[in-house]
Amino acid sequence: MHPPVVIVGAGAAGLFAAAHLAGLGRPVIVLERGDRPARKVLAAGGARCNFTNDRSPEGMLSALPTAARRFLKPAMYELPSEALRRWFAERGVPSVVEDRRCVFPSSGRSRDVVEAMLAAARQAGADVRTGVACRGVRVEDGHVAAVRTDDGDLPAAAVLLACGGPAAPHLGGTDAGLGLLADLGHRLVPVRPGLTPLLADDPLLRPLQGITFEAVRLRLARHAVEGPALCAHFGLTGPAALDMSLAVDTLPANIVMSLSASCTADDVESCLVVPRGGHGPVRLSTALGQWLPRRVAAQVMQSLGIAPDMTLSRLTQADRRAVVRCVTGHPIRVTGLGDWPLAMVTVGGGALGDVEPRTMRSRKVRGLYVAGELLDVAGPTGGWNLHGAMATGLLAARAIRADLAQS
């Protein structure tokens, strides 16, 4: 019998790859060190699983850092969002588009996504084994030869490393895959938590615990993000804050926050002008209510030392300037990022230069392939990361099939 293809990791990348290796003419074995497959996928999107975004390949790529954008371009064009949604729909998992063009299974259940991938992998002939950790990959004459486990060596014709990174250790996140890559000669980009809260003891935000902003704008140097945000006791969380965490590579970081992404400084200045022909004085809190929730408007005024009953006609020029700055350019000193248990993805990982972007082949070891979060391709919230994992898994599966057909 031919030696098997061994996939290390039963997450989105590993299962999607296994599902596309039917009829290979040799066994396909998926090794998962945890007690069940795809635990991160099960927890994704609040257990609803935002598995892609309703954008064109170019639209999805435009939200990524330059290096990741270039690397993932072949994968995203090979598996656009429409094709991925169709793949799941054909397996009984239709999907819907929600806010920010995020795509979820219509059922609202992440387990439907996982079960569809598992069923497809098993239908393709894959043997998914849980509770089995890969301890190393044996290489002979520059080609993979076997995967080391606690039960001995498992011969392998090809090995796909799809075992993710250390984010969310309570869901099986581990740095074991990074160690495997390093042992095989791959360079590593230093890792840190990504899509994680921003830690900041901010006097404006501190009293607003539990308040959700529908859409804020956050800026750090030339990087800007927009989206919902939630004030918490430790600082700021929610999609906008999580996305901004990808850009925070040094601490402390000075981020500028617009409390409403839909208004500009000119908009705020305009709303502070006393209306002509008005019926009585207009309170500042009422004017700010055009853009901000009542409690936020009150906190802005309190933080600036402005009386709660202040009217527009009594505002000084200095007060007006201070209000505009606070609403559209409030500085936040970020002193830390949420640690690994709070992180959704890993920033850093396997260096992209050591992997061929059209095939996921290792440039260091023949017969070795790498896909998913193990690579330095972290993207924003909204479905980018799960989609990227499945797309790279698909390219790896196709390359494995082509390479073994020629061997």
SS (H, E, C) 15-46: HHHHHCCCCCCCCEEEEECCCCCCHHHHHHHH
Q: pLDDT tier at 366 (50, 70, 90 boundaries)? A: very high
The stretch 50-55 carries a mean pLDDT of 98
pLDDT of residue 171: 97
Angle (CA) 291-59-393 rounded to 5° is: 125
pLDDT of residue 274: 81
Please state, as a whole number, how many other Cβ atoms lie within 10 Å of the Cβ of residue 105: 24
pLDDT over 90 (residue 278): no
Do the Cβ atoms of 367 and 161 come closer than 8 Å?
A: no
The predicted model scores a pTM of 0.94
Q: Which CATH class name applies to 5-192+343-406?
A: alpha beta
The stretch 170-195 carries a mean pLDDT of 98
pLDDT over 70 (residue 97): yes
The region, left, alpha or beta by phi > 0 then psi within -120 to 50, assigned to residue 382 is: left
Domain boundaries, the chain: 5-192+343-406, 197-338
The stretch 135-154 carries a mean pLDDT of 98
Q: pLDDT tier at 86 (50, 70, 90 boundaries)? A: very high
CATH code: domain 197-338 is: 2.40.30.10
pLDDT over 80 (residue 280): no
pLDDT of residue 277: 64
In residues, how long is the chain?
Answer: 407
Q: What is the pLDDT of residues 225-263, one digit of tens each?
A: 999 999 999 999 999 999 999 999 999 999 999 999 999
Q: What is the pLDDT of residues 110-138, one digit of tens each?
A: 999 999 999 999 999 999 999 999 999 99
Peptide bond connecting 341 to the previous residue in cis, omega within 30 degrees of 0? no
pLDDT of residue 191: 98
The stretch 370-377 carries a mean pLDDT of 98
By C-alpha distance, which of 242, 252, 221, 20 is closest to 121? Answer: 20
* Per-position DSSP letters for 259-327, written without gaps between them: S-TT--HHHHHHHTSPPTT-SS--BHHHHHTTTS-HHHHHHHHHHTT--TT-BGGG--HHHHHHHHHHH
Distances (CA, A) of 241 to 52, 99, 288, 321, 386: 20, 17, 23, 26, 19
pLDDT of residue 407: 78
Three-state DSSP state, 331: strand
For the chain, the farthest-separated pair of C-alpha atoms sits apart, in whole angstroms, at: 89
